[in-house]
Amino acid sequence: MSAPTPHILFLTPQVPYPPEQGTTLRNYNILRLASRHARVSLLCLGAPASGLAPELTNLCQQVLVVPEPPARSKWQRLLTLAASKRADVAQRLYTADMQERLNSLLCSGNYDALQVEGIELAGYVLGLPAEIQVPIIFDDQNAEFQLQARAAQVAWRQERNLAKALYSAVQSHRLRKLEHVVCTRADVVTVCSQEDAATLQRLDSSIRTVVLPNGIDTHLITPGSTPAPLQHPAVVFTGKMDYRPNLDGISWFSSEIWPLVRQVLPEAQLYIVGQRPLPEVQALHGQAGITVTGRVPEVLPYLAAADCIIAPLRIGGGTRLKLLEAMAAGKPIVATALAAEGLHAESGAHLLLAEEPAAFAQAILAILNDRTLAESLGSQARAFVSQHYEWDRLEPHLLEVYTQIPNLIMRA
C-alpha cells in the first residue's frame, strides 16, 4: 500500500498572489511546484479581501488569511529597537493572533511539515511550543545578517552616515543570533545561492542547506512585448523603492553615475519603476531626465521599452529576481558584481559588470551606442535564464528539500 500524500502547511508574510514582486514571486512558485507532489495549505498575513484568486485557491487544500499588523511609525520602531533584543525585521509582522492560529493548526495533527517563507516570520518558529514536533523547512531568502553587515559597511565607508551604520551593525548582530537559532531549529534550510549556503555553513556547520534558486517563467516574459511609451534612450531601474538596498543603489547611481552618462548623452532618460518610492526618491523626479513612476500596473512594458537595465546594488544577498526578469525579457544589463551574485552569469556574455561610477557609466554608454552589443547581450541573457532558471527546471531542487525529511514521501 502506498504512503499517504503528505500535507505541508506554508507560512508566508503576505498573500502570494498576484506574484508581482520578489517575495510573492518566489513564494507563489514554490507553492505551485510543491502542490504537484503534496497537499498544501496556506496560512498568511494580509489585508481583508473579498475573495482570493482561483490561481491560489486551486493549488491549496485551505487558505487562511490573518490580518496583518498595522505599519509602525518611526518612533514605534525606535522604541522597539531600544526595548527589545530581537532583530527588527522579525518583529514587524509578528502578531499574537497569527501565532495562536499557527499553533492551533499544527496541534491538530493534520500537517506533515511546516514551510516558513522568510526571516520576517522567524518569530513564529521561536513561538512554537515544545510539544509541536512537526518538521520545519525554513526558506532563508537572504543570508540576512550578512546583508545588514554589508549595509553597515556601505553606510560608514561610502556615506559616512553613523546612524545608519550603527543601526545596521546592531541589526546584523541580532540577525546573526536569530538566524542561527531558527536555522538550527529547522530540519532543512533553503537558500537562493551557493554563496548564501556557504555563509550559513560558516555560521554553523550543522545547518542543513539545500540551494533552491529563484526562478522565472520565460513564457510569461517574451522579447517584443508591447512597450511602455518611454523617451529614448531609456535606462530603467526596477524594484520596491522603500527597500534599503534599492534606495542605496538608486541614490548612488543618480548622484555618482547618471551625471557621467548625461554628460556624454544628454538626451538619455532614467526611469525608476517601483512601488512605494520614499520622499528622497520622489525628489529625483523631473531632474536630469529622471522619471519616478511609483507603482505601475505591470513592469513588463517598461522592461520591453528599455534600452538598458541597471542594477547598481551595493547591499544585498540571495539572487535578484529583477535581474532574471530583465534577462528573460532579452534586455542588456549593467550591474555590480553584488547585484549579480549567485547567478553565475558571465560578464561580457550575459550582462556587463562594473563597480566604479566611471566604469558603470561607460558600460551603459557602450550598450546605448552599440545596437549589436545590446542585442547580443540580451539574446544570450535570455538563453542563459531559460536554461538555468526556468521555474519548472528547478522542481528537482524543491524535491531535494523534501527528501531531507524522514517519512515525508512526496507524490511522483
Do 130 and 24 touch, CB atoms closer than 8 A? no
Kindly tell me if the per-residue pLDDT of 136 is higher than 60. yes
What does pLDDT average to over the chain?
90
**Per-residue model confidence (pLDDT) at position 100:** 97
Contacts of 119 (CB under 8 A, 6+ apart): 87, 89, 90, 140, 141, 142, 144, 175, 178, 179, 182
Kindly tell me if the per-residue pLDDT of 315 is higher than 90. no
- The neighbour count for residue 227, using CB atoms within 10 Å, is 14
State the pLDDT confidence band at 145, using cuts at 50, 70 and 90: confident
Kindly tell me if the per-residue pLDDT of 202 is higher than 90. yes
Rounded-to-integer distance, Cα 148 and Cα 174, Å: 10
pLDDT in tens, 277-304: 999 999 999 999 999 999 998 899 999 9
pLDDT in tens, 8-58: 999 999 999 988 777 899 999 999 999 999 999 999 999 876 678 999 999
Q: What is the mean pLDDT of residues 228-244?
A: 93
pLDDT in tens, 316-363: 755 588 899 999 999 999 999 999 988 999 999 999 999 999 999 999
**Per-residue model confidence (pLDDT) at position 259:** 98
Q: Omega into 332 within 30° of 0, i.e. cis?
A: no
Q: How many helices (H) and strands (E) does the chain have?
A: 16, 13
Fold of the 7-215+391-403 domain: Rossmann fold (3.40.50)
pTM of the prediction?
0.87
Kindly tell me if the per-residue pLDDT of 276 is higher than 50. yes
pLDDT in tens, 58-77: 999 999 999 998 877 777 77
CA-wise closest residue to 257 among 368, 367, 364, 377 = 364
Which residue type sits at 90? A
Instruction: For domain 218-388, give the CATH number.
Output: 3.40.50.2000
CA angle 180, 186, 187 (to 5 degrees): 130
Q: Where in the chain is the domain with CATH 3.40.50.2000?
A: 7-215+391-403, 218-388
Cell 534599492: give the residue: 246
State the pLDDT confidence band at 7, using cuts at 50, 70 and 90: very high
pLDDT in tens, 173-198: 898 999 999 999 999 999 998 989 99
